[in-house]
C-alpha cells in the first residue's frame, strides 16, 4: 500500500498545534509497518533547511492558477523510521510561503490571503503527484488547508492515473473552515455547478472548503471518539457543520491521537533538569525547584502548588476563563506559569496581570519547546480549561510526567482523564466550575498519599501511538479495499 500525507504542519519543521504533533509522528509509525509513505508540506520561510539536512531545490515545476503562472520548487528530506525510510517533500513558492509565519503574522493576525495560499498548495501537491511515478492508494488530508483535495480528485482527476486513489480527511479542529468569498472561485478551477446555492461548495452565500471535503472524502476521522460524537450531535461544537457530519455519520470515525514517548518521557527527556520515573519521584521535586529558579520564584517553600499552562492563547483554549478568574486562582496560594502565544488582546491582558501578580504569576509569550518540557516536568498541576478540545495532547504528556491535569470535560479531554483518578474534570464551561475543580485538586494535594496515587495512576496511563496506528491501518485497509 502507498500513502501520501498532505498537511500544513509537521513537527519539528513547522508546528502550531496538535496537527503538527500528529504529522510529526504518524507517518513514521505507519512507515515502520512496511507501508510506502510520502509526506507533502509547504516550504515555509521559517524552516531552517540546513538545520534539518533538507536537500534544497532538487526540482521545480510550473502551475497555472487564474491565468497566472507560478513556480514551485521542491526540497526533499529522507527520514528514517527504524529499518524503513520515508520521504518528506517541501513545496516552495516565494509569493505564498516565503514568510516567517505559518498562518499568522508577527502580531498573530491571520494572513489575508490564507485561502489562496493553501488552495495553491493543494493544487501544487496534486500536480506533483500526477506528474510523478508514485501513485498512492490513499491520500490522507488534514483540516481545512487540504480539504479540497477529495473534491479535486472527484471532479478534476476522474480520468487520470489517480482516479482510483481514495482519500481520508482528518478533522483536527472543525472550528477553522477557511470560509471565503465567492470571488475566489476563479482561482479554483472547479465546475460552476458546485458553487450554486445548496451545492457542494456553497455555504450561506460563501465558499466552505471544509464542508466540501467532509462530503467528498471516502472516510472522515476526528482525533478522539468523544469529539466524533460531539460534532455529530452538537451544533455549537461542530461549528455549524452538524448536519454535514450527520449526513456522513457512517463514514466518520474517532481515532485518539497518541504520544511519542521517544520525545516525551521523564526518564530520558534531555530538556529537563533531572530525569525521573514512576519508581523514583525525587527527580520531579528537583525539576520543580529548578523551574521555580528559572522563573524567578522563591524556592523557600517548594510545597506551594505550582500550576502550569502550555497552550495557544486563543478563545478555544479557555483563556478568558483564566483571565477573568486569575484573582480567584492565585488567592488559593498557588503559583502559575503560562507558556504560549496567540490573540493579541489576551496577551495584553495577561501581561498586565503578570505585572500585578509578579510574585505568583510568570508568563512567557514565546514558542519555546524545551521550556514546555520543563514546565510539564516541574509543575504539580496542568490546567486545560478548553471550551472544546478535539483531542488534546498536553494532558496526556502531563500524565506521563506525573503532572495532574485539570480540564473541562469535553472531547479528548473527557476521553483521556479519569476524574479523581488521573486528574480532575469540570462539567460546565464556566469560571466557577473551573475554580471548583482547582479546589478539589488542591484538597488532594494537601493529602500526600492521595496525591501520590493520582501520580501513579497518571504515569501508568498508556497513550502510546500503538493502538492508534492499528486503528489507522485497519481504516486504510477498509478504504483501499473499496476501490
Complete DSSP assignment for 125-151: HHHHHHHSS---SEEEEESGGGTTHHH
Identify the domain containing residue 252 by its residue range: 2-257+466-481
Mean pLDDT, rounded, of the chain: 95
Q: 103 and 245 share a domain?
A: yes
Give the tens place of pLDDT for each residue, 184-217: 999 999 999 999 999 999 999 999 999 999 999 9
DSSP 217-268: SSEEEESSHHHHHHHHH-TTTTTT-HHHHHHTGGGEEE----B-TTTS-TTT
Residue 85 inside a domain? The answer is yes
Q: 231 and 339 share a domain?
A: no
Band (483; pLDDT cuts 50, 70, 90):
low
In this prediction, residue 195 carries a pLDDT of 96
Residues 88 and 10: beta-carbon distance below 8 Å: yes
Q: 221 and 322 share a domain?
A: no
Q: 214 and 296 share a domain?
A: no
Residue 246 inside a domain? The answer is yes
Q: 332 and 397 share a domain?
A: yes
Q: 192 and 61 share a domain?
A: yes
Residues 173 and 36: beta-carbon distance below 8 Å: no
What is the distance between the alpha carbons of residues 165 and 135, in angstroms, rounded to a whole number? 8
Helix (H, G, I), strand (E, B) or coil at 437: helix
Low-confidence winner among 80-84, 225-229, 339-343, 361-365 (lowest mean pLDDT) = 80-84
Q: Does position 157 have pLDDT exceeding 90, yes or no?
A: no
Number of compact structural domains in the chain: 2
Q: Does position 378 have pLDDT exceeding 90, yes or no?
A: yes
Band (272; pLDDT cuts 50, 70, 90):
very high
Task: Report which secondary-structure segment, H or E, holds 324.
Answer: helix 319-324
Give the tens place of pLDDT for each residue, 294-324: 999 998 899 999 999 999 999 999 999 999 9
Residue 318 inside a domain? The answer is yes
Residue 267 inside a domain? The answer is no
Residues 342 and 319: beta-carbon distance below 8 Å: yes
Identify the bridge partners of residue 469 per DSSP, sorted by sequence position: none
pLDDT average, residue stretch 370-386: 97
User: How large is the greatest C-alpha to C-alpha distance in the chain, in angstroms?
Assistant: 72
Angle at 213 between CA 210 and CA 216, to 5 degrees: 155
Q: Does position 424 have pLDDT exceeding 70, yes or no?
A: yes
Q: 253 and 331 share a domain?
A: no
Residue 269 inside a domain? The answer is no
Among candidate residues 243, 216, 299, 278, the one with its CA nearest the CA of residue 462? 278
In this prediction, residue 80 carries a pLDDT of 87
Cell numbers of 466, please? 500503538
Q: Which residue has the cell 530525569?
A: 275
Cell numbers of 472, please? 489507522
What are the CB-based long-range contacts (under 8 Å, 24+) for 407-412?
407/383, 408/318, 408/384, 408/433, 408/434, 410/226, 410/230, 410/237, 410/386, 411/224, 411/226, 411/227, 411/230, 411/237, 411/386, 412/223, 412/224, 412/226, 412/227, 412/256, 412/257
Residue 295 inside a domain? The answer is yes
Q: Which residue has the cell 498562518?
A: 103
Report how far Cα 415 is from the mean position of its chain's Cα atoms.
17
What is the distance between the alpha carbons of residues 36 and 87, in angstroms, rounded to a whole number? 9
In this prediction, residue 159 carries a pLDDT of 63
pLDDT average, residue stretch 342-351: 94
Q: What is the CATH number of the domain that holds 156?
A: 3.40.50.2000
Band (162; pLDDT cuts 50, 70, 90):
confident
Q: 248 and 343 share a domain?
A: no
Residue 97 inside a domain? The answer is yes
How would you write 149-208 as a 3-class SS string?
HHHHHHHCCCCCCCCCCEEEEEECCCCCCCCECHHHHHHCCCCHHHHCCCCCCEECCEEC
Among candidate residues 12, 471, 5, the one with its CA nearest the CA of residue 260? 12
What is the distance between the alpha carbons of residues 375 and 379, in angstroms, rounded to a whole number? 6
Q: 48 and 129 share a domain?
A: yes
Give the tens place of pLDDT for each residue, 93-115: 999 999 989 999 888 889 999 99
In this prediction, residue 164 carries a pLDDT of 87
Q: 434 and 470 share a domain?
A: no
Q: Does position 225 have pLDDT exceeding 90, yes or no?
A: yes
User: Among residues of the chain, what percentage have pLDDT more than 90?
Assistant: 90
Residue 44 inside a domain? The answer is yes
What is the distance between the alpha carbons of residues 266 and 401, in angstroms, rounded to a whole number? 6
Give the tens place of pLDDT for each residue, 19-46: 999 999 999 999 999 999 999 999 999 9
Q: 174 and 94 share a domain?
A: yes
In this prediction, residue 196 carries a pLDDT of 96
Cell numbers of 132, please? 510523478
Residues 254 and 225: beta-carbon distance below 8 Å: yes
Residues 409 and 288: beta-carbon distance below 8 Å: no
* Cβ neighbour number for residue 166 with a 10 Å cutoff: 23
Q: 325 and 195 share a domain?
A: no
What is the distance between the alpha carbons of residues 88 and 86, in angstroms, rounded to a whole number? 7
Amino acid at each position: 500500500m502507498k500513502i501520501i500525507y498532505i498537511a500544513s504542519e509537521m513537527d519539528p519543521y513547522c508546528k502550531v498545534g496538535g496537527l503538527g504533533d500528529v504529522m510529526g509522528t504518524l507517518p513514521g509509525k505507519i512507515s515502520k509497518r512496511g507501508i510506502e509513505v510520502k509526506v507533502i508540506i509547504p516550504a515555509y520561510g521559517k524552516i531552517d533547511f540546513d538545520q534539518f539536512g533538507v536537500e534544497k531545490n532538487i526540482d521545480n515545476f510550473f502551475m497555472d492558477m487564474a491565468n497566472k503562472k507560478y513556480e514551485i520548487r521542491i526540497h526533499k528530506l529522507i527520514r528514517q523510521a527504524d529499518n524503513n525510510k520515508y520521504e518528506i517533500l517541501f513545496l516552495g513558492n516565494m509569493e505564498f510561503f516565503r514568510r516567517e509565519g505559518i498562518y499568522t503574522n508577527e502580531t498573530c493576525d491571520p494572513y489575508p490571503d490564507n485561502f489562496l495560499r493553501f488552495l495553491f498548495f493543494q493544487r501544487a501537491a496534486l500536480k506533483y503527484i500526477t506528474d510523478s511515478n508514485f501513485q498512492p492508494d490513499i491520500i490522507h488530508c488534514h483540516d481545512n488547508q487540504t480539504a479540497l483535495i477529495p473534491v479535486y480528485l472527484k471532479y478534476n482527476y476522474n480520468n487520470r492515473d489517480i482516479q482510483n486513489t481514495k482519500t481520508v480527511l482528518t478533522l483536527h479542529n472543525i472550528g477553522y473552515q477557511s470560509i471565503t468569498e465567492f470571488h475566489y472561485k476563479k482561482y479554483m478551477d472547479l465546475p460552476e455547478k458546485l458553487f450554486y446555492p445548496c451545492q457542494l461548495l456553497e455555504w450561506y452565500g460563501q465558499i466552505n472548503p471544509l464542508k466540501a471535503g467532509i462530503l467528498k472524502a471516502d472516510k472522515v476521522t476526528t482525533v478522539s471518539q468523544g469529539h466524533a460524537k460531539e460534532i455529530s450531535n452538537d451544533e455549537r461544537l461542530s461549528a455549524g457543520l452538524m448536519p454535514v457530519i450527520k449526513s456522513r455519520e457512517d463514514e466518520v470515525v474517532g481515532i485518539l491521537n497518541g504520544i511519542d514517548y521517544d520525545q516525551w518521557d521523564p526518564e530520558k527527556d534531555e530538556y529537563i533538569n533531572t530525569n525521573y520515573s514512576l519508581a523514583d519521584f525525587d527527580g520531579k521535586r528537583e525539576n520543580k525547584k529548578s523551574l521555580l529558579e528559572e522563573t524567578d520564584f522563591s524556592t523557600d517553600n517548594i510545597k506551594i502548588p505550582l500550576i502550569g499552562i502550555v497552550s495557544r492563547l486563543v478563545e478555544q483554549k479557555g483563556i478568558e476563563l483564566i483571565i477573568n478568574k486569575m484573582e480567584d486562582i492565585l488567592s488559593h496560594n498557588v503559583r502559575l506559569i503560562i507558556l504560549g502565544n496567540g490573540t493579541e488582546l489576551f496577551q495584553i491582558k495577561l501581561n498586565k496581570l503578570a505585572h500585578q501578580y509578579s510574585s505568583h504569576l510568570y508568563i512567557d509569550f514565546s514558542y519555546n519547546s524545551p521550556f514546555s518540557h520543563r514546565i510539564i516536568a516541574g509543575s504539580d498541576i496542568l490546567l486545560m480549561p478548553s471550551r472544546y478540545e478535539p483531542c488534546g495532547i498536553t494532558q496526556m504528556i502531563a500524565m506521563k510526567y506525573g503532572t495532574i491535569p485539570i480540564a473541562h470535560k469535553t472531547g479528548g479531554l473527557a476521553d483521556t482523564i479519569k476524574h479523581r483518578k488521573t486528574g480532575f474534570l469540570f462539567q460546565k464551561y464556566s469560571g466557577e466550575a473551573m475554580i471548583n475543580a482547582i479546589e478539589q485538586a488542591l484538597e488532594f494535594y494537601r493529602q500526600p498519599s492521595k496525591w501520590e496515587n493520582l501520580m501513579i495512576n497518571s504515569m501508568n496511563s498508556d497513550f502510546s501511538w500503538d493502538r492508534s496506528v492499528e486503528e489507522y491501518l485497519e481504516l486504510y485497509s477498509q478504504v483501499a479495499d473499496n476501490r
